[in-house]
Structure 1
Amino acid sequence: MKFSYRFSNLLGTVYRCGNLNFTCDGNSVISPVGNRVTVFDLKNNRSNTLPLATRYNVRCVGLSPDGRLAIIVDEGGDALLVSLVCRSVLHHFHFKGSVHSVSFSPDGRKFVVTKGNIAQMYHAPGRKREFNAFVLDKTYFGPYDETTCIDWTDDSRCFAVGSKDMSTWVFGAERWDNLIYYALGGHKDAIVACFFESSSLDLYTLSQDGALCVWQCDTPPEGLRLKAPTGWKAELLQEAEEDDEEGEEETTVRGKAVPPTEEQQGKVKYSRLAKWVSPQGYFFNKEGDFNNLTAAAYHKKTHLLVTGFASGIFHLHELPEFNLIHSLSVSDQRIASIAVNGSGDWIAFGCSGLGQLLVWEWQSESYVLKQQGHFNSMVSLAYSPDGQYIVTGGDDGKVKVWNTLSGFCFITFTEHSSGVTGVTFTATGYVIVTSSMDGTVRAFDLHRYRNFRTFTSPRPTQFSCVAVDCSGEVVSAGAQDSFEVFIWSMQTGRLLDVLSGHEGPVSSLCFNPVKSVLASASWDRTVRLWDMADSWRTTETLGLTSDALAVTFRPDGAELAVATLNSQITFWDPENAVQTGSIEGRHDLKTGRKELDKVTAKHSAKGKAFTTLCYSADGQSVLAGGMSKFVCIYHVKEQILRKKFEISCNLSLDAMEEFLNRRKMTEFGNLALIDQDAGVEDGVVIPLPGVKKGDMSSRHFKPEIRVTSLRFSPTGRCWAATTTEGLLVYSLDAQMLFDPFELDTGVTPARIRAALRQQDYTRAILMAFRLNERKLLQEALESVPWGEVEVVSSSLPELYVEKVLEFLASSFEVSCHLEFYLIWTQKLLLAHGQELKEKLSLLLTGLLFTFNSCDWNRYNIQYALAVSKQRGLKRPSEPLGSDEEADASDDDTLHLLGSGQVDGAGQLV
């Protein structure tokens, strides 16, 4: 389908809040990004966002020991059970409360969530399909305040839970006779983390004030005894023992309860459940209350303890001797989450204040990954001419360049001292031109990664937009305060001219891709066309009915689209200055209601409009977005809405709901108008005036959902949008266009054709998919005789079966070899259907769309048969020539029908 764009990736944001996790192989980091989850492949240098989203921001992520399943819980308590293998949601669940942390047991049979002041243990879902994936096993009570952390023993027999009431509780995962629960005190602040020692019940606890306590248990894990059942369970156990014919001696095994002996009963009766040695305190926080401990991680095999603080400093210690390995600072913001991979070599840090994600190799003291998004909203974006790079500019004054294949930012320019308002590439793709509110327009070189040109105006002004002509020699920028358009030379950096005439701020600029004509849109309800080749004179002035917000040319330069403040998109002929059409987009925008709005969403939509426009690569459609969660694609000629995309379902953002939330309405008014988080620092409210703890200017802030910029890629296969959540990329392709999988110098078109001549079809198809050239793929598949399709399809690996099915789905619409491709599809599904059972819904989408058009083809085939019969009846009286010529004529008719060159009436189209 031409407009079946699907969410492909999320760039520009690497970490927001929540906990970090390493995969079981230790090569990837799973990071929560808003209401989505991104997987950063450190080995292959790629990032990929899972195609799923929660209703609120992700609070915590729990990863199964085998790395196949993940439980994603948002701030509202909604949980998603996700398969990381097929990247899909398996089950939805609601925990009926805010969940702080979730952790799987090491054996993968159970998982524990901390909710409020309780801990709940659930049976973990297995690999078989279940009616209810989450079955509650037990609920553990004990803490008086909110629980904060969980840790399991290696044998999954016990787990520890830390709380804000300065206590740590040790619970038994089963009904142990000598350990039901145990409370550990000794701290003077909230517990941040607790860790069991390897193959032991010894425990380490860390509190927010930087105190470490070591707890030693006198009972090994093997010394735990299951409690003997009572009542009807004991009777069933006794009957089962009587029916046992082997008469083996009774032994205490895990999972089977045996009645204790008298000696054991005496021990339980007169001794404590578990005896702990008094704690030993280590205080390593030297800076007092202003540098609280915020996160910690412990690697049991190497005995490595990593602690992070609110000042951005982290320490590495070796336990239990508590030897300091080294201490470094990764940021000037608080470290929100720490994770250590399985080998203990890499440490991941997440800083929510700046949106940083760092992976540190502590032995070589070097960064494996260091990424940071725009910590303020992104404003503009631009695709490079080859589509491999995306440049973004934000209100934080930074300009970042992202690789679309890897999803990583590889260069950041920080020369601007204020917010960036516009970015663009030159035609060569090696120069980036940006405008900023600091009064400068800068040009950056992607070869040497430096700012080689700085364009300024004679008087200080704020630039709101920037544009570069097709030759890359003329740079223009619009002023927000002086209402002028400035023209510079890229070669010399000199100011060539100042274009005056607008009576309002210049909101958008765009050069004609074919001619040297500049279009400038302004708030004075006009769009002016300036001729760059004729002394920069105004050629035409287009009058509008409202303030102009965005202007863009069609790729061929024959049409102009303008978005205005009254939610209209008007189309103009720039040669004749005639309006050719208009689109009313007020109802399609569908703005949401803010928490503080006193009017309904329907009335607030009157002040909203499209703020960004972009033509598709073929010029037949236009992409529009604005102060809304929707992005619309319109057909220019028909002036109708083709498709509407909902870019986010995150209710943690403002202006997402259409109606007022009645739960926040009281007899005194809206509770959202009360800033309940005013003066809150780490959950502590400043009670009295004069108290200096915390930031007195801190306020609760809820960002509003909006789309600030939209761009189609040069190929038209994908488009990107800068939104409140980050840089969203929507693509027609399930995977990237070029996938150099096992590609080496020996894979060439000549080698592929040589393999076809040798009738080695499987090897030829594999090499063709490694090159990923459509003509070679078609040649390799169509060279296989139909009698050998079954043998070749059964010998293809699973990874290539998916690619062959995707290729077949895209070829049905354009190929006349329908039966041959249907044979390929049938044999592939019969041979590999069981292996691809979980992915068939995605792979067969294109096939089903093609098969739905068979009804239309059926009438064409009936018409062809009727024509053939009619000619057959006319042959005795009206000779048409030889039989071979008649058959050839019928075959030509069928061929034209298959290729779409003959319509239902038999006319050529």
Structure 2
Amino acid sequence: MKLKRFLLRYYPPGIILEYEKGGQLRTKSIDMLDLSPETNPDILVAEIRQSEPLITESRSEQVKHLILRLQQKQGQQDHNKFSLFKTLQAHILPLTNVAFDKSGSRFITGSYDRTCRVWDTASGKELQTLEGHRNVVYAVAFNNPYGDKIATGSFDKTCKLWSADTGQCFHTFRGHTAEVVCLAFNPQSTLVATGSMDTTAKLWDMETGEETATLTGHTAEVICLCFNTVGSQLVTGSFDHTVSVWDVALGRRAHTLMGHWGEITSVQFNWDCSLVVTGSMDKTCKLWEAASGKCEATLAGHTEEVLDVCFDLTGQLIATASADGTARVYGAATHKCLMKLEGHDGEISKICFSPQGSRVLTASIDKTARLWDIQSGVCLQVLEGHADEIFSCAFNYEGDTIITGSKDNTCQIWH
């Protein structure tokens, strides 16, 4: 094995090693999820050298330099005050979902008008219109970190794979017998997973366009899904009140996570693939061990349905959004509610952490999005301007741009 070069990953902090083995170029990552500005870089380099044979004595100084750069980045707090940069009359009918590419330089919008549009974030210019679906385009995603392909899932029961650069349609994935409502790329960008109202999820080969597996077992609609960061497992959440963890290579179910008594609304793996978080109409959020399928904790407190859940990038915090108009932040290790975020005047449908993890963004039926400080629980900013409910919001990779999607048919870019 021969180390070729280092790549720096700011969020979550880590170093990617590019190395040659058997004539092939490969990568592996050294995650530093506990890194803080107080971490002693010399001690950390010594620990990394013990567990990683590619890091030799001669490379120590280089690694230390990279750690210092990561710490410097952490020291720059995100004190951004966002202002409305542009309102895009994105579609002639309501939007369904929005998503950024990895760098945040482009984003996509899906709509009831049966198209998906690709936008340049800096200028607000439309780059592509992806046409071909025969019904609502509901689910949209880039194949991050590459960002050269887009998948769209539609109520026409198909999923399409497109070139993000030219708008060419590579494949139409047919096989579902009802609406496709969620989708995801695996991290290697070799598979697309789709979830459908037909109670199944399917895996598709991006190269050939062939279906590689049908994941059966749910007894109601599959409403959300998520790959883990290494792509070995997929988690699906269903209206049948259960969550399934699937072995991707075998196309078989590894665990059924049972315990919720309401429809599942949201599922996510943490960064190191050890935990799964689930949100449910039963007003709770549950934390599960990915390896065993065991329920570790029930995070209670909301008085209405939990509509969205997410981990921060280091996997140490969990945020929940509820129909009760509040959001909460919990410790992933302590299972304690650290913060209750109050101020919205109606249900919160979407929540996400900034890449730095110090802010939370919420989108609500009250026509506003809000930015919160997770240390104090204080609302830092109310993003106003939409004329109808906001159902989608996202940060770019650097955390200095936000997009919001609304039922008023517009998308807003905030810098």
TM-score, with structure 1 as normaliser? 0.31
Q: Which position in structure 2 is the counterpart of 1:722?
A: 405
Corresponding residue to 1:543 among 237, 258, 261? 258
State how 1:599-678 maps to structure 2 within 5 Å: 606=304, 609-625=305-321, 634-638=330-334, 639-640=336-337, 642=339, 644=341, 656=366
2:205 equivalent to 1:489: yes
State how 1:105-124 maps to structure 2 within 5 Å: none
Query: Cα distance, 1:9 vs. partner?
Result: 3.4
Q: Which position in structure 2 is the counterpart of 1:443?
A: 161
Q: Which position in structure 2 is the counterpart of 1:508?
A: 224
Q: Which position in structure 2 is the counterpart of 1:414?
A: 131
Q: What is the alpha-carbon distance in structure 1 between the residues aligned to residue 403 and residue 272 of structure 2?
A: 21
Q: What is the alpha-carbon distance in structure 1 between the residues aligned to residue 366 and residue 332 of structure 2?
A: 28
What amino acid maps onto 1:380 in structure 2?
Answer: N
Q: Which position in structure 1 is the counterpart of 2:64?
A: none
Q: Deviations over 1:676-705 (max 9, x none)?
A: xxxxxxxxxxxxxxxxxxxxxxxxxxx995
State how 1:253-268 maps to structure 2 within 5 Å: none
Q: Which position in structure 2 is the counterpart of 1:227?
A: none
2:274 equivalent to 1:566: no
What amino acid maps onto 1:503 in structure 2?
Answer: T
State how 1:121-200 maps to structure 2 within 5 Å: none
Q: Which position in structure 2 is the counterpart of 1:425?
A: 142
2:277 equivalent to 1:581: no
TM-score, with structure 2 as normaliser? 0.64
Q: Is the 8 A contact 1:3 1:643 kept in 2?
A: no
More helix by share: 1
Q: Which position in structure 2 is the counterpart of 1:373?
A: 90
* DSSP-derived class of the 1:586 partner: coil
In 2 relative to 1, CA 439–619 (structure 1 residues): closer, same or farther, beyond 3 Å?
Answer: same
Q: Which position in structure 2 is the counterpart of 1:9?
A: 84
What amino acid maps onto 1:485 in structure 2?
Answer: A
Q: What is the alpha-carbon distance in structure 2 between the residues aligned to residue 716 and residue 580 of structure 1?
A: 31
What amino acid maps onto 2:109 in structure 1?
Answer: T
Query: Cα distance, 1:627 vs. partner?
Result: 5.2
What amino acid maps onto 1:644 in structure 2?
Answer: L
Aligned residues: CA RMSD: 3.2
Q: What is the alpha-carbon distance in structure 2 between the residues aligned to residue 436 and residue 645 of structure 1?
A: 35
Corresponding residue to 1:713 among 377, 388, 396? 396
Q: Which position in structure 2 is the counterpart of 1:479?
A: 196
2:238 equivalent to 1:522: yes
What amino acid maps onto 2:308 in structure 1?
Answer: T
- % identity of equivalent residues: 24
Query: Cα distance, 1:551 vs. partner?
Result: 0.8
Q: What is the alpha-carbon distance in structure 2 between the residues aligned to residue 619 and residue 400 of structure 1?
A: 32
Q: What is the alpha-carbon distance in structure 2 between the residues aligned to residue 709 and residue 413 of structure 1?
A: 20
Q: What is the alpha-carbon distance in structure 2 between the residues aligned to residue 611 and residue 704 of structure 1?
A: 22
* DSSP-derived class of the 2:292 partner: coil
Query: Cα distance, 1:416 vs. partner?
Result: 1.8
What amino acid maps onto 1:468 in structure 2?
Answer: F
Q: Deviations over 1:339-374 (max 9, x none)?
A: xxxxxxxxxxxxxxxxxxxxxxxxxxxxxxxxx313
Query: Cα distance, 1:711 vs. partner?
Result: 3.8
What amino acid maps onto 2:238 in structure 1?
Answer: S
Q: What is the alpha-carbon distance in structure 1 between the residues aligned to residue 324 and residue 393 of structure 2?
A: 13
Q: What is the alpha-carbon distance in structure 2 between the residues aligned to residue 6 and residue 710 of structure 1?
A: 16
Q: What is the alpha-carbon distance in structure 2 between the residues aligned to residue 486 and residue 406 of structure 1?
A: 36
Query: Cα distance, 1:531 vs. partner?
Result: 0.5
Q: Which position in structure 1 is the counterpart of 2:104?
A: 387
Corresponding residue to 1:556 among 272, 288, 301? 272
Q: Is the 8 A contact 1:433 1:443 kept in 2?
A: yes
Q: What is the alpha-carbon distance in structure 1 between the residues aligned to residue 274 and residue 98 of structure 2?
A: 24
State how 1:279-290 maps to structure 2 within 5 Å: none
Q: What is the alpha-carbon distance in structure 2 between the residues aligned to residue 440 and residue 575 of structure 1?
A: 32
State how 1:226-265 maps to structure 2 within 5 Å: none
Query: Cα distance, 1:466 vs. partner?
Result: 0.8
In 2 relative to 1, CA 728–541 (structure 1 residues): closer, same or farther, beyond 3 Å?
Answer: farther
What amino acid maps onto 2:397 in structure 1?
Answer: P
State how 1:334-413 maps to structure 2 within 5 Å: 372-413=89-130
In 2 relative to 1, CA 515–472 (structure 1 residues): closer, same or farther, beyond 3 Å?
Answer: closer
Q: What is the alpha-carbon distance in structure 2 between the residues aligned to residue 6 and residue 506 of structure 1?
A: 38
Q: Deviations over 1:704-754 (max 9, x none)?
A: 954534444334455544333544566xxxx5xxxxxxxxxxxxxxxxxxx
In 2 relative to 1, CA 615–499 (structure 1 residues): closer, same or farther, beyond 3 Å?
Answer: same
Q: Which position in structure 1 is the counterpart of 2:40?
A: none
Q: Is the 8 A contact 2:98 2:109 kept in 1?
A: yes
Query: Cα distance, 1:452 vs. partner?
Result: 1.7
In 2 relative to 1, CA 2–560 (structure 1 residues): closer, same or farther, beyond 3 Å?
Answer: farther
Q: What is the alpha-carbon distance in structure 2 between the residues aligned to residue 463 and residue 488 of structure 1?
A: 13
In 2 relative to 1, CA 418–552 (structure 1 residues): closer, same or farther, beyond 3 Å?
Answer: same
Q: Is the 8 A contact 2:302 2:324 kept in 1?
A: no
In 2 relative to 1, CA 625–403 (structure 1 residues): closer, same or farther, beyond 3 Å?
Answer: farther
Q: Which position in structure 1 is the counterpart of 2:186?
A: 469
Higher relative contact order (CA 8 A, sep 6+): 2
Q: Is the 8 A contact 2:116 2:129 kept in 1?
A: yes
State how 1:296-311 maps to structure 2 within 5 Å: none
* DSSP-derived class of the 1:447 partner: coil
Q: What is the alpha-carbon distance in structure 2 between the residues aligned to residue 411 and residue 645 of structure 1?
A: 39
Q: What is the alpha-carbon distance in structure 2 between the residues aligned to residue 717 and residue 636 of structure 1?
A: 26
In 2 relative to 1, CA 499–704 (structure 1 residues): closer, same or farther, beyond 3 Å?
Answer: farther
Larger Rg: 1
Q: Is the 8 A contact 1:10 1:727 kept in 2?
A: no
Q: What is the alpha-carbon distance in structure 2 between the residues aligned to residue 719 and residue 558 of structure 1?
A: 29
Q: Is the 8 A contact 1:526 1:544 kept in 2?
A: yes
Q: Is the 8 A contact 2:96 2:110 kept in 1?
A: yes
Q: Deviations over 1:603-623 (max 9, x none)?
A: xxx4xx333333333333344
Query: Cα distance, 1:5 vs. partner?
Result: 6.2
Structure 1 unmatched runs, 5+: 15-371, 588-605, 658-702, 736-909
Q: What is the alpha-carbon distance in structure 2 between the residues aligned to residue 728 and residue 626 of structure 1?
A: 23
Q: What is the alpha-carbon distance in structure 1 between the residues aligned to residue 85 and residue 343 of structure 2?
A: 15
Query: Cα distance, 1:635 vs. partner?
Result: 4.5
Query: Cα distance, 1:397 vs. partner?
Result: 1.9
Query: Cα distance, 1:394 vs. partner?
Result: 2.1
Q: Is the 8 A contact 1:526 1:543 kept in 2?
A: yes
Q: What is the alpha-carbon distance in structure 2 between the residues aligned to residue 719 and residue 632 of structure 1?
A: 20
Q: What is the alpha-carbon distance in structure 1 between the residues aligned to residue 320 and residue 413 of structure 2?
A: 15
In 2 relative to 1, CA 523–401 (structure 1 residues): closer, same or farther, beyond 3 Å?
Answer: same
Q: Is the 8 A contact 2:403 2:412 kept in 1?
A: yes
In 2 relative to 1, CA 655–411 (structure 1 residues): closer, same or farther, beyond 3 Å?
Answer: closer
Q: What is the alpha-carbon distance in structure 2 between the residues aligned to residue 559 and residue 4 of structure 1?
A: 30
Q: Is the 8 A contact 1:424 1:466 kept in 2?
A: yes
